[in-house]
Structure 1
Amino acid sequence: MKSKVLFDRPLVIPSLLLCAGIVIGRYLSHPVIFLWSVFALFFFYALYRYYYILLALFLAFGAYVSSRALSVPSDYLSLAGTNVNIRGYIVTQPLYRPQKVSFDLKPYNVNTEQKIRINMYSNSNFLPDLKYGDILDVKVKVKLPRGRTNPFGFDYSLYLKKNGVYAIGSTDINGYKRIGKRDMGFLGLAMGIKDKLNGTIHACMDNPYSDLLSSMLLGYDFRDEDVIESFSTSGVMHILAISGFNVGIIFSAVFFMAKPIKDVYIKNTIAIVVLLIYLFLVGFSPSMLRAALMAIIFLIGQFFKRQADSLNSLSAAAILLLIINPLSLFDVSFQLSFVATASLILFYPTVYKYLRSLPISENISSLMAMTISAQLGVLPFLVYYFHKISIISILANVVVVPFAAFLIPLGFLLILTSFIPAVSAFLTMPLVGIIYYVLRVTDFLSNLPYAAITVPFPGFIWIGLYYLFLFRFTDIIEFDARYTIASMILALALFIQQFYIPGPLTISFIDVGQGDSILIVTPHKHSLLIDGGRLDTRTGFDAGKAIVEPYLLMNGIGKLDAVIATHPDADHMGGLLTVVRDMPVKSAIVYQKCDDSLSSAFYDALRDKRVPIKYLHRGYKIHIDGVTLEVLNPPQPTPFENDNDNSLVFRLLYKKASILLTGDMGLDAEKDLVADSIDLKADVLKVSHHGSATAGSQEFVQAVGPLVSIISVGENNYGHPSKIVLERLKNTRIFRTDMNGAIVLKTDGERYYIRPFLRR
């Protein structure tokens, strides 16, 4: 296997090995042993090839800095769970959301250099106008951020840690006092100028035009969820964030105006100075810093009369940024910006050459080639993180990006001439017109049928094969027919294994915090979802959107054979709303029709998707792919008064395996089942109502006789799970989602394999 594109650039392979080392440092529990083994292999091979020693060192260094950064303990450990008065100053631009504002605080009165993320809530839309550098006294409840608790789940602890944040503090708008303003030096000056520029834009035009221009020009947070969704679906989300798009526009503008200058040193120096000024004006935004650094390294390379190589410059920028902060590798925007830029460098010539053979103009061919090249590289990342592919993105970029590009120079002209009313009014008209055009076009394109499709994650081997074939057919790598045949055989074997060979029955107890969500996947890949976790209307947290739907898609599930709502509590039914709205569902199962607001919204979502609803009670059985679900509760015709007691309860049978799934069933329903001599025997018991003392009676536990007990529970003020219930289950092996994260049970009908995501 050969690749002149990769191996003839001296910094490409070291940068990739540095990334690999950082990943090793995160995911392997004993990276040092692995690294010494790799280093020894490289060393013996390098007796006459010293370059390989350097490569081994990049790998080892990456693992070392990563594991060291991740092992830093939180200085807030002793304060966790307590209410604390913290005095400190704001070190980030406050982020506003409906009824919530978030910012990072550097404390004075806590002996630490670590920051704390403050979430301030309001019961109304009124929120305080906080600024970078404000000194506050805040009374907060301190909590340590949790890491990943579900496979492929979002690691909130890592997300905060890479920004130097090691704790979370919650308060309301009455729990703070503004003390004064701290001198933030150079950064404070930059943020102050940035705020003034933002004010100038808002004084010249109304929303949403001013918000969108401030987002594109200065990096302010854009809050209109509908517009964000239309940009995302259309595949033009990149123009909303300040990054490579802005650098490209600035480059084009500078070199166009500097055309008469022949001296490359002067021309490049002007470009670097302009970039640095722009970096200052946007407050040294991380995304803009990355893009500017790539460009500056490329320009500096030309100072030394060397043929500047874009891929080498990109690799140098990556190495420098990862040495400064190795955890930035796990930032989605970091990955997307570097992969997209590398894709443009690698794939653009081939794609452009093909497009020029078609009857398409040169300019359109170039724009399409840039879009396609970037999409080819980032496609697996978009599927992994967002599970969405924009089918309309090529067209959207052709008809939107050329017009959006004018917003940056026109926006700066507006700011510079804002003190001249006639000129600013003259510039406002084309700016508003272009923004109006961009908004209308993206909205129209995003609403076209199949503008974007949802794609379940296919697995890392498929992703590897995708890149292998992509590199081969764009001539990035060269290998003979044997490698091609081997790759095709592997792809065929994976396809057969994935779709035609039956696997075990898999039941996942997803960690959704204080709530329930259970995914059942039969041997031939039929999928049933029982409950969807919590929907919190106050904080806006939606377990269906944040946890359950990503879990399904990351496990390759793009449609469901059935969704089952055990009862209409928000911590069970709430998350199902998003799942039903976003995914194809064949049928829905409930115990009876309820008239509360949550149930009404659930039924409306089902009707909108034309999903048939089945009402089940004791005596019904569901048969699917050799698996039987016996409905044990509620009884008919006289259900209980309490919704919890009316929970749908299933006894799942597969060959010799038996699992009892109890929803939030209470003591009255348990007594009824025992009194009616219902067969409750099961090897595995999903403990009812999160381990509450209102369920799990001694008689019921004895009637079930479980070997394993699973409790779906999160942080709560109810005392779940109850010590009394835990005592009754002491002769069973107990798993808890608050301690073990997601719990995955697999069985072939004879034996069980239970794998908690977190081992305690």
Structure 2
Amino acid sequence: MLNRRPLIWFALCYVCGSAAAAGLSSRGVMLAAGAAALLALAAVLCRQASWQLAAACALAVGLAAGERMWADARNVTALPALLAAAEADGPRAAYAAEAAGTIVSAVEVDGDRVMFHMAAERVHVAGEAAPRGVRERFMVHVRLAEQPEQTVAAAWQRGDAVSVAGELTRPATATNSGGFDYRRYLSSQSIHWLLKVQGTAAVSQAAGPRWTAAALLGRVDAARAWLGARMDRLYPSDQSGYMKGLVLGIREDLDPGQFQQFSRLGLTHILAISGLHVAVFLYALAGLLRLVRMTRERILLVLMLSVPLYVLLSGASPSVIRAGLMAVLGLLAARMGKLKDGLHLLAAAAVAMLAINPFFLENVSFQLSFIVTLGLIIGVPPVRAAMPQWRRGKALLDLAAVTIVAQIVSFPVTIYYFNQFHALSLLANFVLVPFISFVVMPLGGAALIIAIPWESGGKLLAYASHHANDWTFALVDQLSQVDALRTIWATPPLWWVAAWLIWLGISFYVFGLWTSERNAQLRAASDALEETAPLGTAPMAANPFGHAGTARHPSSRTGRTLLFAIVIFALLLAYAYKPDLFNRNGTVSVIDVGQGDSIHVRTPGGKHILIDGGGTLSFRKPGEEWKERSDPFEIGRKLIVPLLMKRGVREIDLLVISHLDSDHIRGLQAVMESIPVRRIWWNGTVKKAEDARKLLALAVELKIPMYAVHAGQKYKLDPATDLTVLWPLDSSSASVSLLNEQNESSVVLHMKIYGETFLFAGDIDTATEQAIIQNEQRRANEEESPAAVSVLKIAHHGSRFSTGGEWLAYWRPLAAAASVGAMNSYGHPHPDVLSRLKEAGTGVWRTDKDGEVHFIATEEGLLFRRND
């Protein structure tokens, strides 16, 4: 009956109520609450729960939903008039403003950028009569102009009073389907505005009150920074960032490439302070306290008081807060002699965290921490019971059970957020997690503690872990490079994640029954053999895998249920791996990459074409290396690769490089390193630019076949997709030529899906457009030539000297798409181009206003869809 675990059911209902309010409308929340009340009534009528428990569960749903709705209602800006103006003015909206308040987050200095959260108490927007007293939180971005300003900014800390002058803008939304929504992310922290500042001279800083929460946390930040600096002196540069993340939870200095390798193998949880780290900390501290002969009661009290300090020093992420809460509650219950199982501690921690901050529910760290911990508590006992009960290898079998269960439980959440799973992840976690947790991390922590009074001694102890780290990095590097065992998964729907986790819980229960029946039958058979064995004959040892006869199998009903569970898991896996198996539509997606080009095509046969990869231009001068950030925004790694993986792109059948300009190719290096590419089409030239040289060299290194295409070439990618190259002309030269001005040699591609046609024009201008028209007219006399298109990709982002009247008259496009940056300084798309398109009766979609644009070709016709 449910009455045996009332706190667990209360917590479950509380989480469900909070989730319903977060994801549903007000009407949906009311329907969900009604459904919960009916379920509670049914549980009472079926005598599965007492009326007190049913009422408590219904109350939990109502309380959680009400709290989240109340939090959402209060989570609005205190500048509603300015918000309305910003929504009307669009993404370029920016307003000169001054704000005075307090720094309420750690100050991050990274290259030429400084970031911190500010709680403003007074805001003055240009044009207003007088400053307004408001309570508003800002994300402040300070752009540094000179290197000495880094020292000035490094002196700022949480709790300081500041006055800031800059521009207020709205955070960016997700302009691509499935892309990162920065506005929503900041909104979960009650931040609705960015305050962009130029130089430290625009920031006036003074010490704030000493005993505020922000000031106290500022001292914690200073302690973390001081400890991090100590760690820098103990370890070489290629290890210090890793050790700071491992011991202190400081991940800002972790090498991005190293983090990506750990991520591929599902090892990033090692670098996030969580329950394992808290457990190791408490075990080590308890051991030290026992050495000084402290009583059990005092040890428990010291441990309880030390946990909050450790949580603060390790960064107070949701995962460590959860672990800390469970540890404190468990220690308190142990001291009172009322310690129950871990499920009760987990339930209490979940309710406490959501009651304090309902927005925790949307945090990935919170979700993974609770889901994996719940899975381990429920799943490890039945899985371990099914394993051999060896005495000598007990520790290894225990570790295997924990690793297997953790992998199975975390799998749906992992592919939902990160879209990849490596088959060697199980091996990597089995080998590296205990080694790092019980060898490297304690050594690093002990070295740091010893180095505080005696740095030489700390360095001596740290040296013991240098080689361990080298071995770890080498193993991770080797395993992560086995790309044949790395799989990419499209983001599954939420119902699939819920179905996997619910069915996994049911399966653990059934597996537990099956294991119990099997072990009982083995014991009965063993007892029977001992009772009937002839005198002088040794009894037969129990076989952990079953005896002959009927004792080998548990009840047929339980076995059939277990088999049914396996079939359900296989079906769920098949659906998640091939969600679009029966999708016979072709999709052309013009991705918003700012001022650049990147177009993804999925054909009706499930093939994938990528045309260009965008790129962030750099105007950095020699001597400005100090401006380089530890993890700079790179369009391929941060935007294109995650988008393609979310859509389940496991390989790119054709990569088209229209030309070698930076705004078309800089994102492609990350694409080629992350997703297999089968073939490349390009214009057959090279360019002196470093990014072009690196890209072509990488293609050669990866042994990707490269084809220099020219006008007239045709290719049938699948039965419904035909490609025709319209430009450049055949040079009739076997050698690759050097060409620094690439625009007029762009690959111009015509594509036909079913009856719909698409034209991708690169960066050509009107002169090249006329040359293509003449060439196509000559071809029309000899063979069938494309004469009209459904969708035209506007050339050169809508430059004034492209997309001429003759071009539009020849192709007569039904729709056109312009890939332009919202903040571009070129004035693209030019008003003359827009005017010509309007005169031609062509509908225009723009990535700067519409975000990513999707054109869906079906057997019935063409559909247009903006980013949702």
**TM score, norm. by length of structure 1:** 0.87
Q: Give the SS at the match of 1:114.
A: strand
- Aligned-residue offset at 1:285: 5.1
Q: Give the SS at the match of 2:745.
A: coil
Greater alpha carbon shift after TM alignment, 135-144 vs 574-583: 135-144
Residues 75 and 190 in structure 2, CA contact (< 8 A), matched pair in contact too:
no
- Aligned-residue offset at 1:166: 2.2
1:561 and 2:586 matched: no
CA distance in 2, matches of 1:471, 1:436: 41
Residues 594 and 820 in structure 2, CA contact (< 8 A), matched pair in contact too:
yes
CA distance in 1, matches of 2:686, 2:456: 57
Cα RMSD (Å) = 3.6
Q: 1:543 aligns with which of 622, 635, 648?
A: 635
2:157 corresponds to which residue?
Answer: 132
2:300 corresponds to which residue?
Answer: 268
Residues 364 and 398 in structure 1, CA contact (< 8 A), matched pair in contact too:
no
Q: Give the SS at the match of 1:685.
A: strand
Aligned partner letter, 2:750: R
Counterparts in 2 of 1:226 and 1:755: CA distance versus 1, 3 Å: closer
1:738 and 2:848 matched: yes
2:703 corresponds to which residue?
Answer: 610
Q: 2:115 aligns with which of 89, 97, 102?
A: 102
Q: Which has the higher helix share?
A: 2
Counterparts in 2 of 1:694 and 1:66: CA distance versus 1, 3 Å: farther
- Aligned-residue offset at 1:601: 1.4
2:606 corresponds to which residue?
Answer: 525
Aligned partner letter, 1:647: S
- Aligned-residue offset at 1:710: 2.2
- Which aligned pairs between 1:287-436 and structure 2 lie closer than 5 A? 287-302=319-334, 305-357=337-389, 361-390=393-422, 391=424, 392-407=428-443, 410-411=446-447, 413-414=449-450, 418-419=452-453, 421=454, 424-436=455-467
Residues 791 and 813 in structure 2, CA contact (< 8 A), matched pair in contact too:
yes
Residues 230 and 448 in structure 2, CA contact (< 8 A), matched pair in contact too:
no
CA distance in 1, matches of 2:144, 2:460: 37
Q: 1:712 aligns with which of 819, 843, 857?
A: 819
Counterparts in 2 of 1:24 and 1:468: CA distance versus 1, 3 Å: closer
1:457 and 2:490 matched: yes
Q: 1:506 aligns with which of 563, 580, 587?
A: 587
Counterparts in 2 of 1:321 and 1:616: CA distance versus 1, 3 Å: same
Residues 407 and 434 in structure 1, CA contact (< 8 A), matched pair in contact too:
yes
Residues 217 and 411 in structure 1, CA contact (< 8 A), matched pair in contact too:
no
1:133-188 Cα deviation digits (max 9, x unpaired)? 34555554433112222222212112222233322344454654553332344323
1:10 corresponds to which residue?
Answer: 6
- Which aligned pairs between 1:431-446 and structure 2 lie closer than 5 A? 431-446=462-477
1:587 and 2:583 matched: no
Counterparts in 2 of 1:682 and 1:492: CA distance versus 1, 3 Å: same
Aligned partner letter, 1:575: G
Residues 490 and 577 in structure 2, CA contact (< 8 A), matched pair in contact too:
no
2:546 corresponds to which residue?
Answer: none
Counterparts in 2 of 1:59 and 1:83: CA distance versus 1, 3 Å: closer
CA distance in 2, matches of 1:723, 1:394: 61
- Aligned-residue offset at 1:590: 0.8
CA distance in 2, matches of 1:413, 1:38: 52
1:249 corresponds to which residue?
Answer: 280
Aligned partner letter, 2:833: V
1:216 corresponds to which residue?
Answer: 246
- Aligned-residue offset at 1:622: 2.1
2:94 corresponds to which residue?
Answer: 81
- Which aligned pairs between 1:487-502 and structure 2 lie closer than 5 A? 487=568, 491=572, 494=575, 498=579, 501=582
- Aligned-residue offset at 1:347: 2.2
CA distance in 2, matches of 1:99, 1:223: 18
Q: 2:271 aligns with which of 240, 243, 248?
A: 240
CA distance in 2, matches of 1:497, 1:193: 49
1:461-487 Cα deviation digits (max 9, x unpaired)? 664554355334422788974964983
CA distance in 2, matches of 1:495, 1:27: 22
Q: Give the SS at the match of 1:413.
A: helix
CA distance in 1, matches of 2:367, 2:594: 29
- Aligned-residue offset at 1:556: 1.3
- Which aligned pairs between 1:461-472 and structure 2 lie closer than 5 A? 463=497, 466-467=500-501, 470-472=504-506
- Aligned-residue offset at 1:589: 0.8
Counterparts in 2 of 1:488 and 1:7: CA distance versus 1, 3 Å: farther
- Structure possessing the higher radius of gyration over alpha carbons: 2
Counterparts in 2 of 1:630 and 1:359: CA distance versus 1, 3 Å: farther
Q: 2:174 aligns with which of 140, 143, 148?
A: 148
CA distance in 2, matches of 1:497, 1:578: 24
1:231-281 Cα deviation digits (max 9, x unpaired)? 445554334333323311122124435559898754432221111232354
Residues 141 and 171 in structure 1, CA contact (< 8 A), matched pair in contact too:
yes
CA distance in 2, matches of 1:20, 1:230: 35
Q: Give the SS at the match of 1:724.
A: helix
- Aligned-residue offset at 1:713: 2.2
1:407-466 Cα deviation digits (max 9, x unpaired)? 365146325xx33x4xx4234312231244124323333224528724223623664554
Aligned partner letter, 2:104: V
Residues 11 and 315 in structure 1, CA contact (< 8 A), matched pair in contact too:
yes
1:279 corresponds to which residue?
Answer: 311
Residues 68 and 358 in structure 2, CA contact (< 8 A), matched pair in contact too:
no
- Aligned-residue offset at 1:502: 5.2
Residues 24 and 63 in structure 1, CA contact (< 8 A), matched pair in contact too:
no
Greater alpha carbon shift after TM alignment, 450-459 vs 738-747: 450-459
1:40 corresponds to which residue?
Answer: 34
Aligned partner letter, 1:471: G
Counterparts in 2 of 1:729 and 1:74: CA distance versus 1, 3 Å: farther
- Which aligned pairs between 1:67-78 and structure 2 lie closer than 5 A? 67-68=72-73, 77=83
Greater alpha carbon shift after TM alignment, 448-457 vs 389-398: 448-457
Aligned partner letter, 2:177: P
1:592-645 Cα deviation digits (max 9, x unpaired)? 212232221111111111001111122122211121122222334499995333
Aligned partner letter, 1:90: I
Greater alpha carbon shift after TM alignment, 703-712 vs 125-134: 125-134
Counterparts in 2 of 1:487 and 1:348: CA distance versus 1, 3 Å: closer
Residues 276 and 437 in structure 2, CA contact (< 8 A), matched pair in contact too:
no
1:534 and 2:534 matched: no
Aligned partner letter, 2:65: A
- Which aligned pairs between 1:165-204 and structure 2 lie closer than 5 A? 165-173=191-199, 176-183=202-209, 184-202=214-232
Residues 20 and 65 in structure 2, CA contact (< 8 A), matched pair in contact too:
no
CA distance in 2, matches of 1:347, 1:169: 48
- Which aligned pairs between 1:590-601 and structure 2 lie closer than 5 A? 590-595=682-687, 596-601=689-694
Aligned partner letter, 2:407: Q
1:344-369 Cα deviation digits (max 9, x unpaired)? 21222234334554696233333343
Give the length in aligned residue pairs. Answer: 747
CA distance in 2, matches of 1:147, 1:579: 23
1:57 and 2:57 matched: no
CA distance in 1, matches of 2:74, 2:819: 32
Counterparts in 2 of 1:312 and 1:526: CA distance versus 1, 3 Å: same
Aligned partner letter, 1:753: L
> Is there any run of 5+ residues in structure 2 with no aligned partner, and where?
45-50, 87-92, 124-131, 514-557, 621-628, 778-785
Residues 277 and 437 in structure 2, CA contact (< 8 A), matched pair in contact too:
no
* Identity of matched residues, %: 24
CA distance in 2, matches of 1:174, 1:60: 43
